[in-house]
Amino acid sequence: MSESFRILLGSLPDFPDELPDFDPELAPADPVELFRQWFAEALAAGVPQPNACSVATADEIGRPSSRMLILKDIDDDGWHFATSRNSRKGRELGANPHAALNFFWQQQGRQVRVAGDVVALSAEASAADWDARPGADGSQNPGWQLYAVRPRELEFWQARQDRRHIRHRYGPR
């Protein structure tokens, strides 16, 4: 059973035959601009929910946890996501305000990693986000919190069929 599972895992295909080109030499100096380009290309390629990313947090002694969340915006505050302050991740961010996001767009063999400090945005912005959710019924949720990750480092990763995968980093080495 475990042997056949191992073989099954190893036999699955990875990326499609056709992958987009990416020349880091031509990448914009601003990583947000590159993210917007890649995001538009993900949409055009039919990637489902390209705005979904995994968000990793850690508790006060560094034990990690991760889950999928929706990217809400990118502005001068950082990369926004929203959740309940009373959730596990909300509690972890209260004790240890750092997070790492990871976007994976399989159809294009692309991954975008973003990590940095996290700030809690205003009650007004959080309430506006709660109101804008699909299915919002005008009720309030004082526990809802909009956060922003201020990137310290970002990495854009492009798979290639020849397996010479490309990594393009922004931030400290």
Ligand X SMILES: Cc1cc2nc3c(=O)[nH]c(=O)nc-3n(C[C@H](O)[C@H](O)[C@H](O)COP(=O)(O)O)c2cc1C
Min dist CB 89 to ligand X, Å, is 4
Phi and psi torsions of 100, nearest 5°: -130, 130
C-beta of 91 vs 160, nearer to ligand X:
91
Q: Distance of alpha carbon 163 from its chain centroid, rounded?
A: 23
Enumerate binding residues for ligand X (CB under 6 A): 49, 52, 65, 67-70, 81-83, 87-89
C-beta of 22 vs 146, nearer to ligand X:
146
- Report how far apart the first and last C-alpha atoms of the chain are (Å, whole number): 43
Q: How far apart are CA 68 and CA 16, in angstroms?
A: 24
C-beta of 89 vs 113, nearer to ligand X:
89
CB-count burial class (<10 Å; 0-12, 13-18, 19+) for 110:
buried
The tokens of 153 are what?
């480092």
Q: In 3D, which of 87, 82, 50, 85 has the Cα closest to residue 69?
A: 82
Min dist CB 145 to ligand X, Å, is 9
Min dist CB 63 to ligand X, Å, is 12
C-beta of 52 vs 127, nearer to ligand X:
52
